[in-house]
Amino acid sequence: MIRRIIRIDEQKCNGCGACAAACHEGAIEMVNGKAKLTREDYCDGLGDCLPACPVDAIRFEMREAPAYDEAAVKRAQAAKASEQSCSCPGSRSVTLQVQGECEARSETAVASQLSHWPVQIKLSPVVADKFDGAEVLVAADCTAYAYGDFHSRLMRGRLTLVGCPKLDGVDYAEKLAAIFAQNDVRKVTVARMSVPCCGGLEHAVRRAIEASGKQLPLEVVTITADGQIRI
């Protein structure tokens, strides 16, 4: 049927996610750092997402599209509410209070230096206040297991993002470039394993910095399989 529905200009989209949050029907999702209309049958054509977009990347158009399926939307909303009630911390954006040394001694042997959720590169928002003025640690998954002093030596004072290009099967360069370009990041540190395949993460960060158009200081820390650190 021909009806009014939205169109998202991916070239204009800055990946802020405001439209996805404003779409109560769940028709819009963030895919590889860009907003996409993933369910045309969830779009009611009312346009709550339009005023939420800061770069005017969304507009109405009349075109062929499936009819709005209100029943399906309600089922999806109920399922989402159920998932959120028991979702893992990695799926929600949360700022944490980093423990002080004295507080850590009374509760745990070692103070955690994790300051936020999510930590996965794939789940991280592109634009967030936490990035402004931050030093960012981009770490390969295995480094935290291989290096015993990971929290105090590498995570302390840094905002941590983790991933593994080999396991995730994605190129992080585009997402990281958007983060570096659209936030006031001060410095980037890469923590990688010494194995050759882990070089993909380092190369992605280097390409991301170049693509961002900024001259960001970069430090690369390499962890060996036996837990030694090389800078």
If pLDDT is split at 50, 70 and 90, which confidence band does 87 have? very low
* The pLDDT of residue 99 is above 70: no
Residue 94 is predicted with a pLDDT of 60
Whole-model pTM: value is 0.58
Q: What is the pLDDT of residue 142?
A: 93
Q: How wide is the angle at C-alpha 217 spanned by C-alphas 213 and 222, nearest 5°?
A: 120
pLDDT for the residue numbered 48: 86
Q: What is the pLDDT of residue 168?
A: 79
Please give the average per-residue pLDDT across 30-41, as a whole number: 91
In this prediction, residue 83 carries a pLDDT of: 57
pLDDT tens figures, 41-53? 999 999 889 988 9
Structure tokens given for 3? 């009806």
CA–CA separation, 69 vs 179, rounded Å?
35
pLDDT band for position 158 (cuts 50, 70, 90): very high
- Dig out the tokens for 20 from the structure: 């996805």
pLDDT in tens, 67-78: 999 999 998 888
Write down the pLDDT at residue 90.
46
Please state whether 148 falls in left (phi above 0), alpha (psi between -120 and 50) or beta. Answer: alpha
Which are the contacts of 139, defined by CB distance < 8 A and separation ≥ 6? 154, 160, 161, 162, 190, 191, 192
pLDDT at 79: 78
> Among 32-46, 98-112, 183-197, which stretch is predicted with the lowest mean pLDDT?
98-112
- 181 pLDDT exceeds 80? yes
Q: In the predicted model, what is the mean pLDDT of residues 71-88? A: 72
